[in-house]
């Protein structure tokens, strides 16, 4: 754990593999980020010496100063072992190997990978990679070898992402930035030769700044799958672990072996193990995003699959019902007494046209105060354990303050609430009003239902083990 803590919080770094002639080489891109964007003391390393960006280049790690916390290695595969040994002799405990050409390319690469594993273990080095794009910690560390202007950087938040695919990770960062979902760290683990996904699960499981851990996994080495779910089981009572599993088709299985040389494994067995040990198994990237969003807010439990919904559009209620049915969630009809209770707090002029069967259609005449009052009553109904707010802010009675106003009503109840607001700039104030008050907002009705499904799946597991 000490090595990973140092890796994610370095004070001094070094980059082995800078070029004095090519400013766009991966090593140079990484050096500029660490030295100038992250503001870290960073030593460039190249056997030829010279200068890079006006900074003196050291000829080797051995010749560099002794205060290095983290080394990023970007040299051809057959040189990595020598550099890693120098790091060990200098008592450096954190190394990221972005170089490719190891187990993913066949027999010779497998031999090279076994050699660097032995060296890392011998010297007690925590090594991420090889064949990865690096590590990103908002406002602190960026070792990606991709130019900053080409990759979005999400704001600081509470989701940790661990991925065997660098490309998949970059796409998620773009989506997280676009959706305003913050991250605590993003780890491209590549071949996970020595430091495994499981090591980061354990690390982030003990990080109080992380509320949810997301993993893209293509496969495990022999025996690693069992270690992974056992590690997850130790922390899932504290925070959820969400996994998107690659290689689930026959073609995907073959692609997995050529990408990171992982064993995709039997998908039915993997899925059953995830369920048994409390891991949330995302079926696609949309679910990953939905679960990242909702669990960043530490939502309240959802003790059953029963939802109450408020909308100003009957069509939105129909779409939500269809989507919920596919997840085994339901909108139970409200009794006559329950409908009367909600109807009585509506604006008198609209009481006769609103429907309260569930989903409740408050009609386009509804106002902020109608949403507030009806939600307040609906969340007292024993037959539901979650609230779904489907907002169509085109309605003239809906103001930009509705997010904050309704969220403050939700905070007074023990039941979880999620909202759908169309993803348009003119409604950003509404979205912010919800989010600043701890209510997650979905861009689509489908995503809002997926959020509720994630909460229900997690609560169901915790109920089974007596933790909810």
* Residue 220: predicted pLDDT: 86
Q: Each residue of 23-54: pLDDT tens digit?
A: 999 999 999 999 999 999 999 999 999 999 99
* Residue 252: predicted pLDDT: 44
* Residue 256: predicted pLDDT: 45
Q: Which residues of the chain have pLDDT under 50?
A: 249-264
Q: Which of 320, 351, 347 is nearest to 449 (CA)?
A: 320
Return the CATH class of domain 1-130.
Answer: alpha beta
* Residue 90: predicted pLDDT: 97
For domain 152-296, which architecture applies? 3-Layer(aba) Sandwich (3.40)
User: Which part of the chain is CATH 3.40.50.720?
Assistant: 1-130
What length is written for the chain? 468
* Residue 265: predicted pLDDT: 55
> For residues 264 and 253, is the Cβ–Cβ distance under 8 A?
yes
* Residue 193: predicted pLDDT: 95
Rounded-to-integer distance, Cα 417 and Cα 411, Å: 9
Tokens read off for 309: 């919904």
User: Which part of the chain is CATH 3.40.50.261?
Assistant: 152-296, 308-464
CATH T-level assignment (fold) for domain 308-464: Rossmann fold (3.40.50)
Distance from chain centroid for Cα 54: 37
* Residue 169: predicted pLDDT: 96
Rounded-to-integer distance, Cα 57 and Cα 48, Å: 8
């Amino acid at each position: 754990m000490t090595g990973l803590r140092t890796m994610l919080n370095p004070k001094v770094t070094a980059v082995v593999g800078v070029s004095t002639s090519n400013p766009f080489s991966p090593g140079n891109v990484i050096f500029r980020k660490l030295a100038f964007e992250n503001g870290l003391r960073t030593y460039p390393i190249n056997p030829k010496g010279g200068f890079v960006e006006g900074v003196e280049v050291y000829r080797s790690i051995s010749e560099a100063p002794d205060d290095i916390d983290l080394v990023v290695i970007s040299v051809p595969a057959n040189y990595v072992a020598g550099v890693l040994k120098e790091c060990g002799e200098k008592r450096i405990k954190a190394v990221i190997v972005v170089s490719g050409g190891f187990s993913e390319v066949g027999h010779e690469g497998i031999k090279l990978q076994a050699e660097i594993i032995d060296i890392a273990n011998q010297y007690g080095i925590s090594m991420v990679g090889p064949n990865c794009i690096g590590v990103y910690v908002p406002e602190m560390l960026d070792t990606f070898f991709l130019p900053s202007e080409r990759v979005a950087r999400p704001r600081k938040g509470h989701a940790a992402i661990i991925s065997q695919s660098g490309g998949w990770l970059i796409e998620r960062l773009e989506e997280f930035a676009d959706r305003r979902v913050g991250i605590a760290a993003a780890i491209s683990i590549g071949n996970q030769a020595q430091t495994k996904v499981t090591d980061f699960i354990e690390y982030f499981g003990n990080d109080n700044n992380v509320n949810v851990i997301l993993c893209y996994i293509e496969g495990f080495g022999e025996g690693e799958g069992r270690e992974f779910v056992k590690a997850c089981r130790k922390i899932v009572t504290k925070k959820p672990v969400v996994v998107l599993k690659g290689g689930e088709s026959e073609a995907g299985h073959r692609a997995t072996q050529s990408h990171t040389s992982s064993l995709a494994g039997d998908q039915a067995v993997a899925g059953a193990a995830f369920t048994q040990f409390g891991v949330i198994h995302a079926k696609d990237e949309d679910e990953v995003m939905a679960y990242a969003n909702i669990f960043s807010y530490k939502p309240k439990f959802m003790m059953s699959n029963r939802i109450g919904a408020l909308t100003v559009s009957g069509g939105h209620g129909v779409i939500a019902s269809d989507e919920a049915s596919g997840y085994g969630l339901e909108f139970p009809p409200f009794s006559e007494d329950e409908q009367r209770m909600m109807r009585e707090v509506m604006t008198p002029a609209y009481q006769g046209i609103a429907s309260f069967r569930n989903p409740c259609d408050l009609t386009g005449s509804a106002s902020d105060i109608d949403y507030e009052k009806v939600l307040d009553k609906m969340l007292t109904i024993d037959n539901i354990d979650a609230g779904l707010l489907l907002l169509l802010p085109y309605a003239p009675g809906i103001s930009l303050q509705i997010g904050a106003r309704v969220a403050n009503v939700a905070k007074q109840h023990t039941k979880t609430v999620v909202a759908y607001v169309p993803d348009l700039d003119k409604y950003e104030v509404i979205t912010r009003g919800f989010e600043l008050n701890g209510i997650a907002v979905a861009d689509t009705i489908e995503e809002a239902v997926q959020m509720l499904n994630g909460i229900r799946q997690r609560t169901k597991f915790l109920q089974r083990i007596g933790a909810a």
